[in-house]
Chains A and B, each alone.
Chain A
Amino acid sequence: DAEITQSPRHKITETGRQVTLACHQTWNHNNMFWYRQDLGHGLRLIHYSYGVQDTNKGEVSDGYSVSRSNTEDLPLTLESAASSQTSVYFCASSGGTYYEQYFGPGTRLTVT
């Protein structure tokens, strides 16, 4: 069955370190998205991609970057982790039905 996976599921890191969160989907979807979820803020879009070599900034992109070298993967990098980036991060993908996104299980990141 097609799926979307994220790794690691839990991560604790120190302020200032570079961190990369992995996202892998097997639906062959062109669109991929990264969100962060915080209490009181819902789901906020960090970065998104419409295909290989395409990346775009979302509403909360400062301090984050992505790259898309193939259809299946969209890794999210925190250049220099800050305590404000402690959050749960979700990756999602979408294909033919533009209003339906398939979400991964999430990565809980703690920056100490």
Chain B
Amino acid sequence: QQQVKQSPQSLIVQKGGISIINCAYENTAFDYFPWYQQFPGKGPALLIAIRPDVSEKKEGRFTISFNKSAKQFSLHIMDSQPGDSATYFCAASIRRSDKIIFGKGTRLHILP
């Protein structure tokens, strides 16, 4: 019940295309859903985050879509660029624990 399931494991997208990464969860106690971006040789860094009472959040080319009833959320990267090539982790957190449960990650490669 503490898991966050992420798919696909890897993704190849043409430059200018839309990259879509999907996640699902079971625990309704999760109260925030962040996405982390990790470049090779670096630690992950917070990219964007959403509360479960919001259906969509957009920051530049990055959009989170959230479906509370289905317990699913997704990251869309519009106009994908080679510089977006990285590993993306969806995650879920519970305020009272200060811990983050991470999905297994998606390795995204944008073809130039």
User: Using a CB–CB distance below 8 Å, which chain A residues touch chain B?
Assistant: 31, 33, 40-43, 45, 48, 50, 90, 92, 94, 98-106
Contact = CB atoms under 8 A, between A and B. Distances in A.
B44 A90 contact: yes
Interface residues of B, number: 23
Chain A interface, DSSP helix/strand/loop, else mixed: strand
Nearest to A35: B102
Interface in B53-112: 89, 91, 93, 95, 98-100, 102-105
Interface of B: 6, 9, 32-34, 41-46, 49, 89, 91, 93, 95, 98-100, 102-105
Contacts of A99: 32-34, 46, 49, 91, 93, 100
Given A50-B98, A106-B43, 13 more contacts: A33-B99, A42-B102, A42-B103, A42-B104, A43-B89, A94-B98, A98-B93, A98-B98, A99-B34, A99-B93, A100-B49, A102-B45, A103-B43
